[in-house]
Amino acid sequence: TASGSVSTPKRPRRPRAIQACNFCRSKKYRCDGNLPCLHCRKHNLDCVFRRPEAHDPEAAAYSISYVKRLERRLELAEAGNRQRQSASDTPNATGDRPDSSAQEAGQQPSPASIFPSPYSDGQSRQARPSDESDESAAEVVDVNPDTNAIEYHGNTSSLAFLGLVCEEYGSTPGSVRHAHERRSSGLKSPSLVTTFHNNAFRNQKEAQSQSQEEYDEDFYPHQAYMFLDTYFKNIHYIHPIIDQADVLKRCEDLWRGCGNRQPRSFKALYFALLSIGALIRTWTEQKINGMGRFEWSRTLFQKAEVALGRPGALTDIHAIQALFAMAKVCQNELNPNLAYMYLGLAIRTALSGGLNRNHPFHSRNKSVHVDCSTASKVWWGLYSLEVEMSFALGRPDTLGMDDYHNRAMPPVDESEFSIIPCMLPMARIMREVSIGIYLTKDNMQQKIAKAIRLEKELDAWLNTLPQKIRPNMDQDVFSSRPLSPEIWPKLQALVLKIRYLNVRMILLRPFLLHAAKKPQAQPLESELASAINRCVSAAAQTVEIIHATYHAHAFFRTWWYNVTYVTFAASILLFYAAQSSFENYAPLDCLASVDKALEILDVMEDGIVARK
- pLDDT higher than threshold 90 for residue 229: yes
Would you say domain 17-62 falls under CATH 4.10.240.10? yes
Identify which of 524, 521, 540, 517 has the alpha carbon closest to the alpha carbon of residue 590: 540
* Type of residue numbered 133: S
Phi/psi at 151 (5° precision): -115, 140
List the single range of 2-11, 425-434, 468-477 with lowest mean pLDDT.
Answer: 2-11
Q: How far apart are CA 254 and CA 258, in angstroms?
A: 6
Q: What is the per-residue pLDDT for 58?
A: 45
Under 8 Å CB-to-CB from 360, ≥6 apart: which residues?
370, 372, 375
Q: What is the per-residue pLDDT for 484?
A: 67
Higher pLDDT, 509 or 132: 509
154 and 395 Cβ atoms separated by less than 8 Å? yes
Per-residue b or e along 143-161, where b marks 16 or more CB atoms closer than 10 Å to that residue's CB: bbbbbebbbbbbbbbbbbb
- Mean pLDDT (whole number) for 502-531: 87
Q: What is the DSSP string of 35-74?
A: SS-HHHHHTT----EE-TT--STT--EE-HHHHHHHHHHH
Q: What is the per-residue pLDDT for 288?
A: 93
Cα 517 to Cα 136, 137, 372, 461, 510, distances in angstroms: 16, 14, 53, 33, 11
Higher pLDDT, 24 or 34: 24
pLDDT tens figures, 387-423: 999 999 999 999 988 999 999 999 998 899 999 999 9
Say what the pTM is: 0.71
Q: What is the DSSP string of 250-301?
A: HHHHHHTT-GGGS-HHHHHHHHHHHHHHHHHS---SS-BTTB-HHHHHHHHH
Q: What is the per-residue pLDDT for 132?
A: 44
Cα 403 to Cα 307, 353, 407, distances in angstroms: 34, 17, 10
List the single range of 357-366, 436-445, 570-579 with lowest mean pLDDT.
Answer: 357-366
pLDDT tens figures, 175-184: 444 334 443 4
pLDDT tens figures, 281-320: 998 888 999 999 999 999 999 999 999 998 888 889 999 9
When the pLDDT of each residue in the chain is averaged and rounded to a whole number, the result is 78
Helix axes 221-232, 244-255, angle to 10 degrees: 170
Neighbour count for residue 594 (Cβ, 10 Å) = 19
Per-residue b or e along 338-354, where b marks 16 or more CB atoms closer than 10 Å to that residue's CB: bbbbbbbbbbbbbbebe
- pLDDT higher than threshold 60 for residue 36: yes
Pick the most confident of 210-214, 447-451, 526-530: 447-451
Q: For residue 29, name the pLDDT band (cuts at 50, 70, 90).
A: confident
Residue 572's H or E segment, with its range, is: helix 562-577
Q: What is the per-residue pLDDT for 589?
A: 76
Q: What is the per-residue pLDDT for 9?
A: 58
Q: How far apart are CA 570 and CA 581, in angstroms?
A: 19
Instruction: Delimit the domains of the chain by residue range.
Output: 17-62, 63-111+136-173, 204-410, 430-611
- pLDDT higher than threshold 60 for residue 124: no
- pLDDT higher than threshold 50 for residue 210: no
Under 8 Å CB-to-CB from 375, ≥6 apart: which residues?
317, 355, 360, 361, 407
pLDDT tens figures, 546-590: 999 988 888 888 888 899 999 999 999 988 888 876 665 555 678
